[in-house]
A = this chain, B = another copy of it.
Amino acid sequence: ADTVMRQQARARLDQLAIPHWALGQLMDTAEELAAMTRSMAPSVKRKAIAVMAGDHGIVAAGVSRFPQAVTVEMVRNFLNGKASINALARQVGASLTVVDAGVAGDLTELYHHDALWNRKVAAGTADLSRGPAMSRAQAIQCLEVGIEVANHLADTTDLYATGDMGIGNTSPSSAIIACLCGCDIATVTGRGTGLDDAALNNKIAVLDRALALNRPDAADGLDVLSKVGGFEIGAIAGLILGAAAQRKPVVIDGIISTAGALIAASLVPASRDYMIAGHCSVEPGHRIALNHLGKAPLLDLRLRLGEGTGAALAMHLVEAAVAVLTEIATFEEAAVSQA
């Protein structure tokens, strides 16, 4: 991001006719947006949410309460406009693109929808508690899917957001976070869609085994993605890299999207400059991952859904941050006395 424009934005924000920096995190965000977009009037009006979908072989180890069929059912729900992300995308005026990056079930009957991309890398990952989730070539492939989506949307998008759908995907996300943040798996593993204590302990044990078996190299984001990741997580990482390459902001959703953001930051550290943390969920690994990325979340509403819902909600705050930078008079402009 651009240091000169950051300083110029800070200089203006410092002079607004309010007690110094009294709009807190909104002003931090305004400064970041100026640096990202190299503009004192950042464009964020045209908003696009990409929901990456994929399945996970590790569900065979009993890490999720919901059956794998739900991934297909929810993709259908997205295309029918009746899911949570549809409601919240409409609310903030964002477009929605759904990408089959690796759903296990057959989506052939749905590919005629313009909003659904068929970029299935494989019919779900392999069970990472028994070996690598995917090959290195597949890891590159799902990253490229995300980059392709970002590039396709570029002409009509000022502000991106990430989303995910995939039964079982808090498991690979926790594994990625443990590896890339250097944490014990137990501290970053949560109840996902609602595991009880026994199932949570099983999930932790399964992931502990998976990390011991695969030994992902924390210095190599591609190795981490291929050993313990997921196709939709790779596609999310790719979307972030694509947005960053365009110097456009991208709002990160929940723990799955943030695992993708860790992969992106591992591959291209500068991509971090274009990330905005939409929210912090109740999954314990999420806050740890956000801290590792140096990102303060805009919202903390006890969300634990994914789909891009937290990112969609935060898009309004990103627009508000631009309004702070562009629509508020300084002490001098407003002829207001200073302290």
Chain A 73-107 against B: per-residue CB contact (8 Å), 1 yes, 0 no?
A: 11011001011101110111000000000000000
Q: In the complex, A156 Cα to B203 Cα: how many Å?
A: 53
Query: Contacts A73-B337, A90-B323: A19 and B304 contacting too (C-beta < 8 A)?
Result: yes
**Chain B contacts for A299, CB-based, 8 A:** 299
Of A134-142, A234-242, A285-293, A328-336, the one contacting chain B is A328-336
Q: In the complex, A69 Cα to B331 Cα: how many Å?
A: 13
Q: In the complex, A335 Cα to B26 Cα: how many Å?
A: 40
How many protomers of this protein does the assembly include?
2
Contact A304 B22 (CB under 8 A): yes
Residue of B nearest to A282 (CB): B24
Residue of B nearest to A304 (CB): B22
Partner of A301, one of B24, B309, B327, B338: B24
**Chain B contacts for A337, CB-based, 8 A:** 66-67, 69-70, 73
Query: Contacts A339-B66, A339-B193: A22 and B303 contacting too (C-beta < 8 A)?
Result: yes
Partner of A194, one of B19, B25, B26, B320: B19
A217 within 8 A of B: no
A215 within 8 A of B: no
Chain A, interface size category, equals 35 or more
Q: In the complex, A26 Cα to B88 Cα: how many Å?
A: 11
Of A1-9, A181-189, A219-227, A311-319, the one contacting chain B is A311-319
Contact B193 A82 (CB under 8 A): no
Q: In the complex, A328 Cα to B304 Cα: how many Å?
A: 16
Query: Contacts A77-B17, A339-B194: A327 and B23 contacting too (C-beta < 8 A)?
Result: no
Residue of B nearest to A319 (CB): B91
Partner of A83, one of B17, B300, B303, B338: B17
The A23-64 residues at the B interface (CB cut-off 8 A) are 23-26
Contact A83 B329 (CB under 8 A): yes
A209 within 8 A of B: no
Chain A 132-160 against B: per-residue CB contact (8 Å), 1 yes, 0 no?
A: 00000000000000000000000000000
Q: In the complex, A76 Cα to B329 Cα: how many Å?
A: 12
Contact B82 A328 (CB under 8 A): yes
Q: Give the Cβ gap from A296 to chain B, nearest Cβ, in Å.
A: 9
Contact A323 B24 (CB under 8 A): no
**Chain B contacts for A334, CB-based, 8 A:** 73, 76-77, 80, 82-83
Contact A336 B77 (CB under 8 A): yes
Q: Give the Cβ gap from A45 to chain B, nearest Cβ, in Å.
A: 12
Contact B22 A83 (CB under 8 A): no
What are 6 of the A-B contact pairs (CB < 8 Å)?
A22-B303, A23-B301, A76-B334, A82-B328, A88-B320, A90-B327
